[in-house]
Chains A and B, each alone.
Chain A
């Protein structure tokens, strides 16, 4: 990519910070388990596997060989984005970080956190529609404007865009499937429609990139990258669909067994 050659950005500092953050995250989770186990029921250690894999997926996208390659190779870039924006969030949500955080904090801090989650802002961004727009809309901005070229010549912009990809991907995942603590709940039908639309627009964007890749990407690289985006996105959204439908399946059994309508959260 010539943009990178024109304005060389030193990614060594960036990679070091990511590694430190990743290592910190890997240590924080078991510390929280240790602290909260004193007051609460034993936290299943198996959930650490999800946290570990999720943090690893995100770190692998932003450091090391795949990251090196992603500056020159659009397909590697796309593989990194799948890891960071889709796979990492899906893995992380299964480790239920919000539930763990809530039981680790003392009462007043937990109350403050729940006030933030219940705030109008928290309610607004956890609406599946808003979360999808932040997630998929952000991708349109990256690939259909000059942002893609620009972020490769500014470290701050690059860091900001990738932070957004991870956070928006996570927000989207928790807005569609309710695995962790979820204050605001929406119906299965609404979440299904939003999930279909989000997946649809992800597919549309892949085809638009296939037809016309970002300025600094060659046509052939754009095509393989777009195919990876299309089918990789399918694979992870397929998992989301199965989880959502399975949650519907469990909830509709509850309706039959008890007269009241309730959702299973385990």
Chain B
């Protein structure tokens, strides 16, 4: 743990920003590398894809690519200034990954129908597993963040 007396309010917020951005980008990378490329469950495009879906997916993925790099450079900046609060950062990464996963599972897959988790199978168990995983990541991130706030208050 490198969290210490130097950390003040603005650095505390930066820890959260850095973690959340990195988390969003990380989950987008996992989505792209594992589900699009390796397993090839996700399709690049399917005929149910809406125009709004193409639009929002393009912007979201561009943002996620920026986020993974920007989040890490912010982390490097925090380290350089000795203001990393590791527990808070990890909690924020979990929040980032969980919210991306849930957004992807609910908005992208179901509402905008950009593509499904997998094709030519019964989709319901896959959707349930996908969104439950997202929910667990998000809630554990939030719980951990609350814990880190308590710990910081005690210091």
Q: Which of A47-55, A68-76, A239-247 is the interface stretch?
A: A239-247
Whether B77 contacts A249 by the Cβ 8 Å rule is yes
Main secondary structure of the interface of A (DSSP, over half): helix
Whether A245 contacts B80 by the Cβ 8 Å rule is no
Q: Which of A218-266 contact B (CB under 8 A)?
A: 227, 230, 234, 237-238, 241-242, 245-246, 248-249, 252-253, 256
Whether A211 contacts B45 by the Cβ 8 Å rule is yes
Q: A197 contacts the other chain (Cβ, under 8 Å)?
A: yes
- Chain B min CB distance to A200 (Å): 4
Q: How many residues of B contact A (CB 8 A)?
A: 21
Residue with the highest number of chain A CB atoms closer than 10 Å, among B44, B62, B77:
B62
Residues of A within 8 A of B54 (CB): 204, 207-208, 211
Cβ-defined partner of B81 (8 Å) among A192, A203, A227, A256: A256
Whether B63 contacts A245 by the Cβ 8 Å rule is no
Q: Which of A9-50 contact B (CB under 8 A)?
A: none
- Taken together as a complex, chains A and B put the C-alpha atoms of A34 and B84 apart, in Å, by 49
- Taken together as a complex, chains A and B put the C-alpha atoms of A234 and B59 apart, in Å, by 12
**Interchain pairs with CB closer than 8 A, number:** 65
Whether A200 contacts B49 by the Cβ 8 Å rule is no
Whether B66 contacts A192 by the Cβ 8 Å rule is yes
Whether A253 contacts B80 by the Cβ 8 Å rule is yes
- Taken together as a complex, chains A and B put the C-alpha atoms of A204 and B54 apart, in Å, by 6
- Taken together as a complex, chains A and B put the C-alpha atoms of A211 and B61 apart, in Å, by 18
Q: B112 contacts the other chain (Cβ, under 8 Å)?
A: no
Q: Which of B68-76, B98-106, B124-132, B142-150 is the interface stretch?
A: B68-76
Residues of B within 8 A of A210 (CB): 44-45
Cβ-defined partner of B70 (8 Å) among A192, A197, A200, A237: A192
Closest to B59 in A: A200
Closest to A243 in B: B69
Whether A249 contacts B65 by the Cβ 8 Å rule is no
Residues of B within 8 A of A159 (CB): none
Residues of B within 8 A of A192 (CB): 66, 70
Whether A249 contacts B73 by the Cβ 8 Å rule is yes
Cβ-defined partner of B49 (8 Å) among A202, A211, A252, A256: A211
- Taken together as a complex, chains A and B put the C-alpha atoms of A30 and B87 apart, in Å, by 54
Q: Which of B38-69 contact A (CB under 8 A)?
A: 44-45, 49, 54-55, 57-63, 65-66, 69
- Taken together as a complex, chains A and B put the C-alpha atoms of A237 and B60 apart, in Å, by 15
Residues of B within 8 A of A204 (CB): 54-55, 58-59
Residues of B within 8 A of A242 (CB): 69
Residues of B within 8 A of A203 (CB): 57-58, 61-62
- Taken together as a complex, chains A and B put the C-alpha atoms of A123 and B82 apart, in Å, by 39
Whether A241 contacts B69 by the Cβ 8 Å rule is yes
Whether B73 contacts A196 by the Cβ 8 Å rule is no
Residues of A within 8 A of B58 (CB): 200-204, 207
Q: A87 contacts the other chain (Cβ, under 8 Å)?
A: no
Residues of A within 8 A of B73 (CB): 245-246, 248-249
12 contacts between A and B (CB under 8 A): A197-B59, A197-B62, A199-B66, A200-B58, A200-B62, A200-B63, A207-B54, A207-B57, A210-B44, A211-B54, A241-B65, A249-B77
Give the interface of A toward B (CB within 8 A).
Answer: 192, 195-197, 199-204, 207-208, 210-211, 227, 230, 234, 237-238, 241-242, 245-246, 248-249, 252-253, 256
Closest 6 CB pairs between A and B?
Answer: A204-B58, A200-B62, A203-B58, A199-B62, A200-B59, A245-B73
